[in-house]
């Protein structure tokens, strides 16, 4: 690839001014590039739920499909995110770079305000390879839907991707006593983050149902760390060791 072609596909600035960083982000969005920004920022989310993160060093990624991810230096899961289909905007406000990801249905806004930008990049490219994953979370879900007793005797699945204020539940159902059950699926060994995610789903569904609702939570994964196992016990959540099918 020629240098001119590379320049058109990639743009990176170190320690840019807010205005220079904004221009890179806007150009990247306009040409359907993957945009990344690293620096010190606050994160404000307003939608079905509301949250706010004080200033910290974080990495923000905007994808051409409309997804937005906010990562810290810990864990593999983003601390906040927006799904594909959102509109991204970037502007300067009072000496800061502001990035917004807007979703119309439901009405949600993720706003990241950078007081300091250490690096901003925009990369254009394509990946035309058809990805064929084996042993995915979807495979695990279909296995449970086909054989609910793999989870536990008497489990009845009622819905998948049931929406809650904390996010979509992988599988929602009832146990043999008729109690509501939230099932969170993971295809690999998991740690405390997965337990916290399940706890948020359980709490959100209890609020959505009624005051005396006792919602059970079951984490399904090949294995969990010792710390995750302790957290499951602390929160009265269950664990089922189950591998996704590989064929």
Please return the burial class of 205, using the count of CB atoms within 10 Å of its CB with bins 0-12, 13-18 and 19+. Answer: buried
Helix, strand, coil shares of the chain, percent, nearest 5, are 25, 40, 35
Would you say residue 247 lies in a domain?
Answer: no
∠ CA 155-161-163, rounded to 5°: 110
Looking at the fold, whether 76 and 20 belong to one and the same domain comes out as: yes
The C-alpha atoms of residue 204 and residue 218 are separated, in whole angstroms, by 15
Same structural domain for residues 116 and 143? no
Which residues span the domain enclosing 237?
137-241
* CB neighbour list of residue 179: distance below 8 Å, 6 or more residues apart: 214, 215, 216
Would you give per-residue pLDDT tens digits along the chain (247 residues)? 334 444 457 899 999 999 999 999 999 998 889 999 999 999 999 877 788 999 999 999 999 888 999 999 888 889 899 988 888 999 999 999 999 999 877 888 999 999 999 999 999 876 655 544 457 888 899 999 999 999 999 999 999 988 888 888 999 999 999 999 999 999 888 888 889 889 999 998 888 876 567 899 999 998 888 888 999 999 999 999 998 776 6
Residues 75 and 117 in one domain: yes
Instruction: For residue 77, tell me if it sits in a domain.
Output: yes
Q: Nearest to residue 220, comparing CAs of 245, 188, 174?
A: 188
Total structural domains within the chain: 2
Q: Is residue 14 located within the same domain as residue 114?
A: yes
Spatial neighbors of 91 by CB under 8 A, at least 6 apart, are: 22, 98
């Amino acid at each position: 690839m020629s240098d001119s072609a590379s320049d058109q596909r990639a743009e990176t600035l170190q320690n840019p001014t807010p205005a220079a960083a904004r221009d890179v982000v806007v150009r990247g969005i306009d040409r359907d590039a993957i945009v990344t920004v690293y620096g010190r920022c606050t994160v404000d989310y307003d939608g079905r739920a509301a949250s706010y993160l004080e200033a910290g060093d974080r990495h923000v990624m905007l994808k051409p499909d409309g997804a937005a991810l906010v990562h810290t230096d810990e864990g593999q899961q983003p601390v906040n995110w927006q799904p594909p289909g959102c509109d991204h905007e970037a502007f300067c406000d009072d000496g800061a770079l502001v990035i917004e990801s807007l979703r119309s249905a439901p009405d949600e806004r993720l706003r990241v305000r950078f007081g300091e930008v250490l690096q901003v990049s925009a990369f254009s490219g394509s990946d035309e390879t058809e990805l064929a994953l084996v042993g995915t979370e979807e495979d695990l879900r279909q296995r449970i839907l086909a054989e609910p007793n793999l989870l536990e005797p008497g489990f009845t699945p009622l819905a998948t991707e049931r929406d809650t204020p904390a996010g979509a539940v992988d599988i929602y159902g009832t146990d043999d006593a008729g109690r509501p059950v939230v099932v969170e699926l993971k295809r690999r060994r998991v740690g405390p983050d997965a337990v916290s995610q399940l706890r948020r789903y359980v709490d959100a569904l209890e609020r959505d149902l009624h005051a005396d609702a006792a919602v059970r939570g079951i984490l399904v994964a090949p294995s969990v760390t010792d710390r995750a196992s302790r957290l499951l016990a602390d929160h009265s959540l269950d664990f089922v060791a189950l591998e996704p099918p590989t064929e």
